[in-house]
Structures are given as C-alpha cells and as structure tokens.
C-alpha cells in the first residue's frame, strides 16, 4: 500500500465504533426511553451497564491484577536494583537479547536497546520495510520459522517464553558467539530458570544476565 495511506493509519478509523459506539447507543436509548418514563430509563441503562460488566468480568479482574502487580513491582530488593544498575553501567554499542518476560523490563530498567521486542510485532503493517529484518531475527536468533511457524503461535503478534525456551537452551556457546557477532548483541537476559550454555554474569530471583 502507498506510504501515505499507511501513515494515516486507516485501521484506527475502522475500530472507532468499538470506542464511541456504546456511549452513542446508550445515550440514544436513554433519550428515547426517557420520553416514556425517566425512572425506567435510568433502570434500563444501569441494567445494561451491569450486565455488560458481569459478562466481561475478566477484563476488570485483569485490570485489578495489573494494578496490584505494578504496585508490587515497585518494591524491588536491593539485589534486583543492583542487577539492573550493573547492566546499565556496561559500556557497549550493541543490543541486549530478550524474551517475552524480559523485553519490557529490560528496556525500562537497564536503559539499553534490545534487539527485538518480542511482546509485540504490530509495527510491521506501518513499516513494511522492517519485515525482512524481523524475519531474519525470528528465524536465525529465536529459531522460529517465519513463513511456517508452529501451529500454536500462528497469527500471534508475539513470541512467548515457552515458544523459544528450548531453542535458547539448545544453543551452544559457539552458536551464541556467532549470533552475537552477526546481530550485534552483547548480552542476554532470560528467566533465571533457563539452562543457557553460558556462564551467567549476574542473577536475581527472576532473571539471569549473560555476557557474550
């Protein structure tokens, strides 16, 4: 598609109904029923909102859990703080290789560039020229066939830890050094329980950092 159309992000407009549709429908319904009975209008609107909330209760639980999780994440141990500070102080022009559970936290706390944020690939439709490099990284570094991925991750815009754990654990030290040279990453941050064929530089209760 022409670059001008891509930059206008037409998909944003096609989903507007999901944002403004419900308020408009509820507002129109309230105005119409109010002509007959104001009390009934309020009861009807409250009933619809309550019914919708109950049917989508998982969303509220998810928001609640995220709030609790984000709050608890602020209370880090001294060991974990030192872990990220030590990575932050490393002088390097390369990237850090991460997984689903370490991508976002690595960017936020190490202030180092990561090779690929595997939690979301939604940038490709807006920047199609990135697809080629993305495919190379997914295939050669993460070990996932780009054009024929396993059925459990087909059409998913991310790579979960379970999808790449075995690949990472099977890589030899020589393989890691080769990938590090070819893709310019100097370290790896993975969950601490992964058995990587390298000597960990630093560890916490959650993560392990390997320097290549």
Which single residue is written with the structure tokens 């859990």? 65
Write down the pLDDT at residue 137.
95
Alpha-carbon distances of 65 from 9, 58, 68, 167, 169, rounded to whole Å: 31, 10, 5, 31, 31
Write down the pLDDT at residue 70.
57
Write down the pLDDT at residue 44.
86
Q: How far apart are CA 179 and CA 168, in angstroms?
A: 12
SS3 sequence of 97-138: ECCCCCHHHHHHHHCCCECCCCCCCCCCCCCHHHHHHHHHHH
Q: Where are the beta strands (DSSP E) in the chain?
A: 95-97, 185-191, 200-203, 207-211
Phi-psi region of 9 (alpha: psi -120 to 50; beta: other; left: phi over 0): left
Q: Count of H helices and E strands in the chain?
A: 10, 4
Of 173, 190, 191, 188, give the one whose Cα is nearest residue 92.
188
Write down the pLDDT at residue 99.
96
> What is the full per-residue pLDDT of the chain (212 aa) written as tens digits?
677 776 677 777 777 777 787 788 888 888 888 888 888 888 888 888 888 778 777 777 776 666 655 555 555 677 788 899 999 999 988 999 999 999 999 998 999 999 999 998 878 877 888 889 999 999 999 999 988 888 878 778 889 999 999 999 999 999 999 999 999 999 999 999 999 999 999 999 899 999 99
**Contact at 8 Å (CB) between 202 and 209?**
yes
For residue 104, the Cα-to-chain-centroid distance in whole angstroms is 7
Task: Please indicate, yes or no, whether the overall pTM of this predicted structure exceeds 0.75.
Answer: no
């Amino acid at each position: 598609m022409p670059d001008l159309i891509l930059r206008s992000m037409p998909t944003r407009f096609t989903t507007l109904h999901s944002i403004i549709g419900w308020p408009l429908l509820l507002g129109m319904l309230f105005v119409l029923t109010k002509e007959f009975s104001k009390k009934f209008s309020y009861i009807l609107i409250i009933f619809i909102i309550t019914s919708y909330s109950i049917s989508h209760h998982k969303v509220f639980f998810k928001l609640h859990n995220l709030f609790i999780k984000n709050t608890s994440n602020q209370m880090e141990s001294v060991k974990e703080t030192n872990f990220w500070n030590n990575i932050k102080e490393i002088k390097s022009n390369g990237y850090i290789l991460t997984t689903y559970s370490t991508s976002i936290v690595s960017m936020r706390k190490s202030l180092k560039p990561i090779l690929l944020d595997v939690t979301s690939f939604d940038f490709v439709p807006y920047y199609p020229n990135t697809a080629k490099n993305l495919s190379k990284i997914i295939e050669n570094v993460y070990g996932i066939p780009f054009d024929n991925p396993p059925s459990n991750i087909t059409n998913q815009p991310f790579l979960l830890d379970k999808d790449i754990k075995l690949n990472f654990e099977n890589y030899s030290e020589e393989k890691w050094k080769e990938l590090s040279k070819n893709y310019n990453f100097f370290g790896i941050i993975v969950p601490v329980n992964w058995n990587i064929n390298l000597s960990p530089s630093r560890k916490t209760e959650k993560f392990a950092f390997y320097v290549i």
